[in-house]
Structure 1
Amino acid sequence: MKNVIILDLDGVLILTPNWKSDGIHSDGYSEFNSDCVQNLNSLMDNLDAELWLSSTRRLSKNLGQFQEIFKNRNIKVPLAGFLPGGTLGTERKMEIDTFLDHEPIRNFLIIDDDKSLNGLESDRKQFWVQTELLIGFNTEKLNEAREIIKKWV
């Protein structure tokens, strides 16, 4: 059994408004907000948890490419994998429910701005940190995540 952080990108680490093009990193992929990256690294410090990507952006690159992207942005923990599914138009809630139903997960935390997660059952929704598109994983959300992790068994 493992501990898992389910991570979105847009509205978590990438804070670009929908009407604007992403800033591009020297590796050719979208910039991540450095404060949000620092908060994610702080959360992951000394935490025995795998990092799984739920973002629809996972459809455009393979795991190795995303691991390199994360490394280039100084994210200390490598991605363990992608949530299965991820076809365009699939509701995030359904992807997360399927993942949690089929993986040997002991504890989890979801960091995502997707409003469909309001439909999660309460026993799952309590482990969701809801971020905002233009604010992301700020200090307030980091503290909220730490409080949720304290509930892990």
Structure 2
Amino acid sequence: MEQITSSYILDYLKNNEIHLASTHAKLCTPIIRRMCQKMWYIIRFGEIKLCDDMYVLLDIDGVMVPAQSWKRPEFLQDGFPVFSLKSIQALQKIINKTDATLVLTTSHKSIYSISEWKDIFKLRGISVSALDRLTANDLNLSRKEEILQWYNSGGHSDDQIVIIDDDKSLHALPFDMKQNLVMTSPMVRLTDELADDAISILKAGALAPA
């Protein structure tokens, strides 16, 4: 299967003299790619649903803070590690362009209250208006299991979701959800390019599973 890109789609339409008459203002490359993959593997999918609720499921270590086990991170006065400047700019870009709710998936999520988390982000120059977190992981679930629990128990099937994480276990997410995964490198963290990917996923709309 060829890589589905905007230029590929436009070239195909032009070469085959097909008039583009989009019925969805938010339909874009990520969701088209997802639909093509399902058709390629003969997987039935339901109707496309668009929703105003957007969520960024955000890890911290390996996303905002470099995961360097051999090196002690630098801390600010609140006792929490410094965020990468590029990651700060990338996350703020996502927030500014989507107004999405941040949902913290990090293992640190239950250590601080929502108010304290907002202060942590504010001290690092990130303006967050809507912030939430996964419930305490008392059952020692994997990150994949935690996210699936949040997704299934919270009625989020019609919501627009992007998962930003460096946890490799998330590659085992169900097909539909894996298309909403932006995997970071623990050393490189969240970049401007990955922020653009996250924004595209959020603006693509929710694809209801069959």
- TM, length-normalised to structure 2: 0.68
Aligned mate of 2:203, from 142, 150, 153: 150
**Alignment check: 8 A CA contact 1:70 1:78 kept:** no
Aligned mate of 2:191, from 116, 131, 138: 138
Q: Aligned equivalents of 2:152 and 2:139: distance in 1?
A: 21
1:64-97 deviation line (CA, Å, top 9, x unaligned)? 2111101111111145211124248420000000
- Alignment CA distance shift 1:20-1:87 (3 Å): farther
1:20 lines up with 2:71 in the alignment: yes
Q: Aligned equivalents of 1:48 and 1:71: distance in 2?
A: 16
**Alignment check: 8 A CA contact 2:100 2:130 kept:** no
Q: Aligned equivalents of 1:4 and 1:60: distance in 2?
A: 21
Q: Shift in Å at residue 114 of structure 1?
A: 0.4
**Alignment check: 8 A CA contact 2:54 2:202 kept:** no
After TM superposition, the structure 1 = structure 2 runs for residues 1-153 of structure 1, keeping only pairs within 5 Å, are 2-78=53-129, 80-87=131-138, 89-105=140-156, 106-153=159-206
Q: Shift in Å at residue 16 of structure 1?
A: 3.9
* Equivalent position amino acid for 2:133 in 1: F
Unaligned runs of 5+ in 1: none
Q: How many residues end up aligned between the 2 structures?
A: 153
Q: Shift in Å at residue 116 of structure 1?
A: 0.7
Indicate the percent of aligned positions where both proteins have the same amino acid.
30
Q: Aligned equivalents of 1:71 and 1:41: distance in 2?
A: 11
* Equivalent position amino acid for 2:65 in 1: I
Q: Aligned equivalents of 1:40 and 1:110: distance in 2?
A: 12
**Alignment check: 8 A CA contact 1:7 1:111 kept:** yes
Structure whose CA Rg is larger: 2
Q: Aligned equivalents of 2:147 and 2:54: distance in 1?
A: 14
Instruction: Please state which structure has a larger fraction of its residues in strand.
Output: 1
- Displaced runs of 4 or more, over 3 A: none
- Alignment CA distance shift 1:35-1:88 (3 Å): farther
